[in-house]
Amino acid sequence: MDNREFNMPLLGDDFPTLEVQSTHGPMSIPKDLKGSWFVLFSHPGDFTPVCTTEFVAFQRRIAQFDALNTKLIGMSVDQVFSHINWVNWIKEKLDVEITFPIIAANDAIANRLGMLHPGKGSNTVRAVFVGDAAGKVRLILYYPQEIGRNMDEIVRVVKALQISDKQGAMPADWPNNDLIGDRVIVPPAKDVKTAGERLKKYEGYDWWFVHKPLEK
């Protein structure tokens, strides 16, 4: 079935305009995030163990996201008062202050973002949307309710996307790729002349697989 029927955002789309209530007050997304990258992530429910571990893990990496000019926004179909109580509980019991907003979504918003999967029940799955400073959707991840996310991977992909925009493609497991380490893959040649010059200009395995040092 075509996902467009449900208006689910796809890679390269403008992130849908959402007018929402959050723990930081009313928000208009992506308008309020203009000029910043963002990671909007959904969780199945407040006061649940896996989600609690995720929020603590996100918060403990807030400085890394700040360094990437990236804002975090949480979301579930719980109401704002529930989010506030949960955030207070995390601060009191775990000594971690959640500083990013948490959106109170309704079913319409959750469906618009493809976060309600009928085969997985009525709570939102663990969706992750990475948007750039222009409000474009750059990466989407979905995890089931029973598996917590790897926050270091989310930091990695934001950093990799930002570098890729300026320097080239990123290899598997970047920056620790088995073949080329943290180097950047040069985009493939699109004509015979350029292909013939590739290995004279760059290191590589063949004209279609060349790489260059990462610009720090």
| Whether 51 is catalytic | yes
Quickly state the pLDDT bin for 93 (edges 50, 70, 90).
Answer: very high
In whole angstroms, give the CA distance from residue 79 to residue 90: 17
List, for residues 129-162, the tens digit of each pLDDT value: 999 999 999 999 988 888 999 999 999 999 999 9
pLDDT band at 96 (very low <50, low <70, confident <90, very high): very high
The answer to whether 80 and 54 have CB atoms below 8 angstroms apart is: no
Residue 110 three-state SS: helix
Nearest to 211 by CA among 184, 189, 188, 190: 184
> Could you tell me if 125 and 144 are in contact, meaning their C-beta atoms sit under 8 angstroms apart?
yes
Each residue's pLDDT tens digit, 161-191: 999 999 999 999 999 999 999 999 999 899 9
Least confident span in 42-51, 87-96, 128-137, 150-159 = 42-51
Comparing CA positions, the residue from 141, 107, 143 lying closest to residue 123 is: 107
Superfamily of domain 168-216: Antioxidant, Horf6; Chain A, domain2 (3.30.1020.10)
Q: What fold characterizes domain 3-167? A: Glutaredoxin (3.40.30)
pLDDT of 74 over the 60 cut: yes
Q: Where are the strands (E) in the chain, listed by range?
A: 18-22, 25-29, 37-42, 70-76, 102-104, 126-131, 137-143, 184-185, 203-206, 209-212
Catalytic choice (29, 33, 51, 98): 51
Question: Tokens 């890394």 correspond to what residue?
Answer: 64
pLDDT digits (tens, 9 = 90+) for 100-138: 999 998 878 877 787 767 776 666 778 899 999 999 999
- Please give the pLDDT value at position 120: 67
Residue 215 token pair: 């610009």
Domain ranges of the chain: 3-167, 168-216
CA distance 137 to 39: 10
- Burial class from Cβ neighbours inside 10 Å (0-12, 13-18, 19+) for residue 55 reads buried
pLDDT at 32 over 60: yes
